[in-house]
Chain A
Amino acid sequence: MTQPLPLPRAPDSVETLLTGRPYKYGFVTDIESETSPPGLSEDTVRFISEKKGEPDWLLAWRLEAYRAWREMESPDWAKLNIPAIDYEGATYYSAPKQQSGPSSLEEVDPELLKTYEKLGIPLHERAALAGIAVDAVFDSISVATTFKAQLGELGIIFCSFGEAVREHPDLVRKYLGTVVPQNDNFFAALNSAVFSDGSFAYIPAGVRCPMELSTYFRINASKTGQFERTLIVADKGAYVSYLEGCTAPMRDENQLHAAVVELVALDEAQIKYSTVQNWYPGDENGKGGIYNFVTKRGACRGIRSKISWTQVEAGSAITWKYPSCILQGDHSVGEFYSVAVTNNFQQADTGTKMIHLGRNTRSTIISKGISAGKAQNTYRGLVRIMPRAKGARNFTQCDSLLIGDKCGAHTVPYIDVRTPEAKLEHEATTSKISDEQMFYCRQRGLSQEDALSLIVNGFAREVLKELPMEFAVEAQKLLAVSLEGSVG
């Protein structure tokens, strides 16, 4: 007589993976663009340089990079499955058509203003985010920069890269390529040849930048790569906190994003650089998404200087990125705080390099990898202590969290110590969100989604607390959204 009763679905299993995650920035802006013919040659490089009205030295610099790139091979050491990229089929320059560059916000195409408003980044200063100056980069060019005048009163330069080349050529020439040389690696060389815009910031000696500087990158055009370049220089005793955000439309094709960021901190200067990366990650079947190949490096040139990288990497089909610090000045400090989330078919190989050159230099690495679906997530890091760096110290902590049993987490730490007078610590853990944790949260009344978000944000807390407050909230939401549909 045992007639089985219909049972409620086994509700607290985190094993069942569903599909589908909403990507709310996936719209396309309908705007007329001026685009270079597809393909990559010296002519493409000349076309871009001419479009931007660049001086001869910069064109020569680009061509040097292009020639180096032609001789280089795409790196294959990362734990990434990278489909062949058709560099000849891509477009390297696409800019919204405007009657020359806008000289004020009033001249910016309303369609563009609307786009940024939709993304939550109002550009009109009266509506702009309080305490945050924004440089908005749309495809290949910067379309607007807010609060420039106010910052200018303190001697702070914050503008698009193109404008910096025109208005402050000496500063650009002095620092460009000094942290990431043109031939540093395949993607950096490509960027050096065809970079179109990006942000430039210079904080004069002794000035503490009173607001967050930020760049908001948006890819819009199809079949187009984005190659931006950011250069930030903090002069002696200066302080700046900088944030970048990125989104792109949902498209079936893969798009290439190869950026270079260079930071220079002189004596006792501090740069805090935060990233919330939310490029389109592709759909649940692994179709589409941005290939994100980025070279970010900071040089602590001066004594007691400090560079701190914080990144929340949630988007992109492939992420290849290792924000690094060269700790040249004695007593300088490098920090790397990272949360990388991968879901569905996303792949991330990310980490950092801490190169200790100066005495008593210190570095801290906290990496949190979260993997769901069929995603692969790798931490790769190098700590190198050179012979002169007596008294150097490093602390590294790598934690991985797995959701479900079809994803992977990997930790690849390289350690190279060339002085006996250094101290290194390394900790690594891997854990799984357990059914027990989910049930405990749900028994207290939280929905499955809220329970997951709570557990994941708890896991990432040490990193999230390093973000500027305005963005920490956004990042928390992003983590939850990125994992939506990963339990059911």
Chain B
Amino acid sequence: MLDIKNLHVSVEAEEEDSEREILKGLSLSVKAGEVHAIMGPNGSGKSTLANVIAGRGGYRVSQGQVRYEGADLLALAPEERAQKGIFLAFQYPVEIPGVNNMYFLRAALNAQKRARGDKELDAGQFLKLVRAQLKRLDLKEDLLQRAVNVGFSGGEKKRNEIFQMAILEPKLALLDETDSGLDIDALKAVSDGVNSLRAPDRAIVMITHYQRLLSHIEPDHVHVLAGGRIVRSGDKSLAADLERHGYGSIAGEAA
């Protein structure tokens, strides 16, 4: 589904000379149905990876390729990537004052449906869909009537991201530090939500600093990102190793 080869990415700067390379030859392959965890120390390039896949501006790809469902992903605008089923759960979800959460989500869903040539949902059909998912994620209905992320607590913002994911039903979901800033109850609620969205035709890539998320959402593959490259890959036991020995030993190994 997602195939990344030798990806080099820098943060855009006024002058090319002062650009800082963040990803230095990253390769990764993700198949439908799989759950991958990408772990690594601060500044290793985890969020950059998620942002480049989703199409955020401000990055320059100098080398390598990203293929999604066999096509060149980097040639597409962010909304085209979304319409093709890529979803990013933001580390810092953005506030949009005055825009009703439910209205926003319906506009997004129908924009995606339109792009795919599917029939759009009317207000009634959408409400039905939304109510079902709310129940599944144990969310309060008043969340829908509030402005997008405005005045939401940290936990509510992250839950809202997963709620959006549940409605939009992406093929490839990128979760960027979805566990950060959550207390234990919120972490459980978010994890339960993600687990309920695991499906054979859906891939999930979780980006996290901590092992604790992985005890709630069990990954098929764990990768360690350090110095802009994946330095080690393994199954879930790798995460436990990391917890015991820290990133230092592995990053040292790679150097």
Contacts and interface: CB of A to CB of B under 8 A. Distances in A.
Interface of A: 1-5, 7-8, 10-13, 434-437, 439-448, 450, 454-455, 457-462
Given A11-B55, A458-B97, A458-B99, 8 more contacts: A2-B62, A439-B56, A439-B94, A442-B77, A443-B54, A446-B79, A458-B96, A459-B98
A4 B12 CA distance: 13
Interface string B85-111: 001101001111111000011011101
Choose among B12, B83, B94, B115 the residue with the greatest number of A CB atoms under 10 Å from its CB: B94
Given A10-B58, A443-B78, A445-B79, A454 B63 contact: no
Nearest to B51: A439
The 3 closest A-B pairs by CB, nearest first: A458-B98, A458-B99, A444-B108
Contact of B63 (A5, A12, A448, A450): A5
13 contacts: A8-B76, A11-B55, A434-B94, A435-B58, A436-B94, A442-B55, A444-B168, A445-B79, A445-B111, A455-B96, A457-B99, A458-B96, A458-B98
Contact of A445 (B57, B58, B82): B82
Interface of B: 8, 12, 54-58, 60-65, 74-79, 81-83, 87-88, 90, 93-99, 104-105, 107-109, 111-112, 115, 147-148, 164, 168
A431 to B, nearest CB: 8
Contact of B82 (A2, A7, A442): A442
A462 B74 CA distance: 39
Nearest to B59: A7
A3 to B, nearest CB: 7
Given A4-B62, A458-B147, A442 B78 contact: yes
B111 A450 contact: yes
A133 B5 CA distance: 66
A7 B168 CA distance: 27
Contacts of B54: 443
Given A445-B112, A445-B168, A450-B107, A440 B57 contact: no
Contact of B164 (A444, A455, A461): A444
B57 A435 contact: yes
Contact of A2 (B63, B77, B97): B63
Contact of A446 (B76, B81, B107, B147): B107
A446 B81 CA distance: 11
Contact of A440 (B63, B64, B96): B96
Contacts of A460: 98
Nearest to B81: A443
Contacts of A442: 55, 77-79, 82
A442 to B, nearest CB: 4
Contacts of A434: 94
Nearest to B112: A445
B98 A461 contact: yes
B107 A12 contact: no
A454 B107 CA distance: 9
B56 A7 contact: no
Contacts of A462: 98
A188 B107 CA distance: 45
Contacts of A5: 61-65, 74
Given A445-B168, A454-B99, A7 B61 contact: yes
A443 B89 CA distance: 10
A434 B65 CA distance: 29
Contacts of A461: 98-99
A443 B90 CA distance: 10
Nearest to B99: A458
Given A8-B74, A13-B57, A440 B94 contact: yes
B57 A439 contact: yes
Contact of A454 (B62, B64, B90, B104): B104
A7 B95 CA distance: 29
Contacts of B55: 8, 11-12, 442-443
Contacts of B81: 443
A10 B52 CA distance: 12
A7 to B, nearest CB: 6
Contacts of B98: 457-462
Nearest to B92: A436
Contacts of A454: 96, 99, 104, 107
